[in-house]
Amino acid sequence: MKAYLLGFVFVSLFSAFTLQCEAQEFNKRYSLQNQIDNAFNIDQIDSSGYWLTVASEDSSRNFTIVTIKIDEQGDTLWTNTYGQAGKDLFVGWSNSLAVTSDSGLIMGGALRDTSETFGHLVKFNKAGDTVWTKTFGDSSNFHIFSQAIPTRDGGYAVTGHTNRSDKNELDAWLVKTDSAGNLEWEKTYGIWNEREASSSIFQTSDGGFLLSGERVHTGGNPAVRNIDPLVIKVDSAGNQLWKHINDTPGRDGGADAIETSDSNYVYGASISVSQNDSSKAALVKLNRKNGNVLWSKTYGFYSGGSSFLSIQELSDQSLIAAGVIGIGFIASHGMILKTKSNGDSLFMRIIQESDTGKDNRSALWDIIPTGDGGYISCGRTVTFPPDTLAKFSWVIKLDSNGCGIGNCTLVSLREHGVAQNSLLLYPNPSNGVVHLECAETLSFVQIFNVQGQLLRQQSLQDNSLELPPNKGMYLL
């Protein structure tokens, strides 16, 4: 009986062969013995290591903010828990933390006191201790901060969303403070009965700000909730100049937008093609003057929940982005993409938290370059039965090619950093056994069906691979 293997012509759709890189990096999970531990942010203040900010929920459903310092090997140096009796404290969103000029950090999040939720601005020193905290909002409405940044005048800008102007839905919210966190001015942005939530902020070279997040609308049908990437450009006083919404039919990931060295803007998100929540991760470049699209590119394959969550421009004007890609029906893996300044991909990595081959639900929320030319990224992973159901913070240190000590899956030979002719697979179609010849050293190979389900993981024997017995099409 013949088993058909996905040919090289289609390998750019999903080429998930896995190779072990030689670089000795690390791939670690961190558990605080709580129900939820989710690392949303990673930063580096000095050469002594990295700073993680973790959203944590204990067995009594108390929410706290945990700061963790790790060294270059990923080993924990110290852990601090920040909480208030009788109140819940929340980390903002991906990359909600920023390094300040005095080698401290500023974070935007939320504080919930009984049924009231406020925007919460926290200043930490480099030891993880709080220097000061400020709350914003009123007891009659809902408020939440997602990200804070230092501004060039020595103060801070923080963004999030509130229902202050529209009780039925949320509006994007921008707050400007002085160096001590005292309010200078605030603005809201939105349309009646449509949700516009801001989760990211960037100060642009003209002194203004770039807000990004998501727009949610129903189109008059409450059963349909269309989610689109949203970018709002405002001037230095918070006045809106233009708004960009990538209106697609499905539920896309929210935008994370930055300014690039050409003074235009780029954001990471996802783009859907239907209402079934199937989407591809995407980068979109915008004209700084009007928000018009200069280019838009998608990466990987269509799946549920795929999106870039954080993006940065590197010193050579290339782009690095981290996010999540759906695998099958409920599983997901971390995803890292590096591109040229025009969005052409240099490499794309799909990374499992576990090296056992078992599926879990993982995502990478934040990524920064490291001093050795590599990258470090953080996120969360959820283990599935038969393992104990648990949620951990996750950090992976990668080399300059995006490879680490754990899995390093290349997606698309031609587009993502592997020479077009470096993999030879034959015969195809096959009678059940194929032979692989590759310029890279393959430690093991994973076989998926066309639904994205992992069927088998095995090492190569004399470069030969035995396929499943059932007739069909498979992906490696």
pLDDT digits (tens, 9 = 90+) for 99-157: 999 999 999 999 998 778 999 999 999 888 899 999 998 887 888 999 999 999 999 99
**Per-residue confidence (pLDDT) for residue 1, from 0 to 100:** 37
**Per-residue confidence (pLDDT) for residue 388, from 0 to 100:** 66
**Per-residue confidence (pLDDT) for residue 415, from 0 to 100:** 33
- Of the candidates 126, 26, 43, which has an alpha carbon nearest to the alpha carbon of residue 370? 43
Taking the CB of residue 80, how many other CB atoms lie within 10 A of it? Answer: 14
Residues 162-199: tens digit of each pLDDT: 987 666 678 999 999 999 999 999 999 988 778 889 99
Residue 364: partners with Cβ closer than 8 Å, 6 or more residues away = 309, 310, 322, 323, 324, 334, 335, 336, 351, 377, 378, 379, 394, 396
* 8 Å CB contact between 72 and 24: no
Residue 463 per-residue DSSP state: T
**Per-residue confidence (pLDDT) for residue 94, from 0 to 100:** 79
**Per-residue confidence (pLDDT) for residue 113, from 0 to 100:** 86
**Per-residue confidence (pLDDT) for residue 358, from 0 to 100:** 63
- Of the candidates 399, 321, 387, 396, which has an alpha carbon nearest to the alpha carbon of residue 360? 387
- Of the candidates 322, 329, 331, 318, which has an alpha carbon nearest to the alpha carbon of residue 349? 322
Residue 295: partners with Cβ closer than 8 Å, 6 or more residues away = 284, 285, 342, 343
Mean pLDDT (the chain, rounded): 80
| pTM of the predicted structure, to 2 decimals | 0.80
Residues of the chain whose pLDDT is less than 50? 1-23, 406-422, 426, 450-451
**Per-residue confidence (pLDDT) for residue 220, from 0 to 100:** 60
- Of the candidates 102, 117, 106, 119, which has an alpha carbon nearest to the alpha carbon of residue 53? 106
What DSSP element (H or E) covers 397? strand 390-398
72 backbone φψ class: left, alpha, beta (φ>0; ψ -120 to 50): alpha
User: Which two three-digit tokens encode residue 367?
Assistant: 């990524």
**Per-residue confidence (pLDDT) for residue 420, from 0 to 100:** 37
What DSSP element (H or E) covers 235? none
| Residues 129, 399: Cα–Cα separation, whole Å | 31
The single residue listed with the structure tokens 């290339």 is 318
**Per-residue confidence (pLDDT) for residue 150, from 0 to 100:** 97
* 8 Å CB contact between 28 and 378: no
148: phi then psi, degrees, rounded to nearest 5: -130, 150
Residue 188's identity, in one-letter code, is T
Residue 61 per-residue DSSP state: -
41: phi then psi, degrees, rounded to nearest 5: -140, 145
Residues 59-74: tens digit of each pLDDT: 667 788 888 999 999 9
Taking the CB of residue 54, how many other CB atoms lie within 10 A of it? Answer: 25
Residue 150's identity, in one-letter code, is P
Residue 79's identity, in one-letter code, is T
Residue 222: partners with Cβ closer than 8 Å, 6 or more residues away = none
CA dihedral 183, 236, 255, 382 (to 10 degrees): -30
| Residues 352, 329: Cα–Cα separation, whole Å | 16
